[in-house]
Amino acid sequence: MDTWVQRAAGEIARRAERELDALVAVSSPSGDVHGAEECAAVCAALLPSDAEVERPPCSSPRHAPDLIARLRGTGSRRILLVGHVDTVVAHAHHKPLRREGERLLGSGAVDMKGGVVLALAALRALTARRADFAEAALLLVCDEEWRSAPFAHVERFAGWDACLCFEAGELTPHGDEGVVVRRKAAGTIKVHARGRSAHSGSAPERGRNALLALAAAAQAVAARHAPDGPDHLTAVPTVLRAGEAFNIVPGRGELSCDLRADSDAAILGVLETLPREVGGVALEPELIRLWPGMSSEEATAPLLARAGAALGRPVVGVRRGGASDASHLAPVIPLTVDGLGPRGGKAHNPGEFVLADSLASRAEVALALIDAALAS
């Protein structure tokens, strides 16, 4: 293993669990300004002392500002590290970090405060490599989990030499270190229903049932689900809201659906085929979010080979279905690699965890990728 990678990873591992504890202790659901500001304060305390900190506006309105930390060097390359501090866990359900055997359990631990801890530590490690870069920056956003607005930071970093995103890491089926070089496009369809309310006991025939119409729309979306098809499309109805009382025909309602596919066109195809009327109920489908896919396999293959040489074990590019901010940046930074965070599981669930030992091993992976990017 490269000497710098080994030494810096050891220092990161020594501090990582305690730093993860501090960050997970803050409840920071998307949209909560106070939680995001508390996370920003923790992250600022963990930055290199001479990092230049900027708080640009978030992509989403009514959110706390994002955070950008920059290190200046004397070299020529520009490298960007990316993460997010928001979670999907409401305050009432937030769980601080606790250890159960080899698992570090806590809200947002794997998605993605564990990755944020490694990204902050990687920026600290780069203070010893200033001759190898002109600029190293860390971008931490506070709206990744629920953003529907355009990503605000694409042009700011267009043309940089490398982008490394610290979503959760993984091992391949053969036990090699996996990093993400391909992601599906992601879309959210919302269907609004306008029917007619009526008493469900004395005059149900006068009503136009929005709930039943939305159920039909949900079935139409689910019928397009084809994960083994040419576009690897997953189409999943996720939230249905309709009705105000048990004895009233629902006159209005709303359905949300999550879609992932290899191409944007497959997602748009589902939108176009949804019915506009069912049983006298008007349906209004709209695409409220469309994140691009990411396809960096070819561009990053030499980078992964160099990283494997610095690491002393293979680094393998893998596919992943989940959306990520890396997908927004890959079109303007061809050397974009994701999945550099620690390994774990049960993201967005009460049992969310990080594998404690992976904080060290994935720090090594991240530093090897950085070393390879600086040498390109």
Q: What is the mean pLDDT of residues 162-181?
A: 97
- pLDDT > 70: what percent of the chain? 100
Q: Is 363 left (phi over 0), alpha (psi -120 to 50) or beta?
A: alpha
Give the amino acid at 157: F
Q: What are 136's strand-pairing partners?
A: 71, 79
Closest CA relative to residue 116, chosen from 80, 143, 81, 144: 81
Residue 372 has pLDDT above 90, yes or no: yes
pLDDT number for residue 42: 98
Residue 169 has pLDDT above 80, yes or no: yes
Q: Which domains does the chain have, with CATH numbers?
A: 3-183+293-375 (3.40.630.10), 185-291 (3.30.70.360)
pLDDT number for residue 323: 83
Query: Distance between alpha carbon 358 and the CA centroid of its chain, in Å?
Result: 19
pTM: 0.90
Instruction: Spell out the residues 6+ positions from residue 122 whose beta carbon is closer than 8 angstroms to its own.
Output: 12, 81, 363, 366, 367, 370
Residue 322 has pLDDT above 90, yes or no: no
Distance in angstroms (rounded) separating the CA atoms of residues 366 and 26: 25
Question: Hey, CA dihedral for 102, 108, 111, 115, is it positive or negative?
Answer: negative
Length of the chain in terms of residues written: 376
Instruction: Spell out the residues 6+ positions from residue 230 whose beta carbon is closer than 8 angstroms to its own.
Output: none
Distance in angstroms (rounded) separating the CA atoms of residues 178 and 196: 53
Is-cis flag, bond preceding 112, omega within 30?
yes
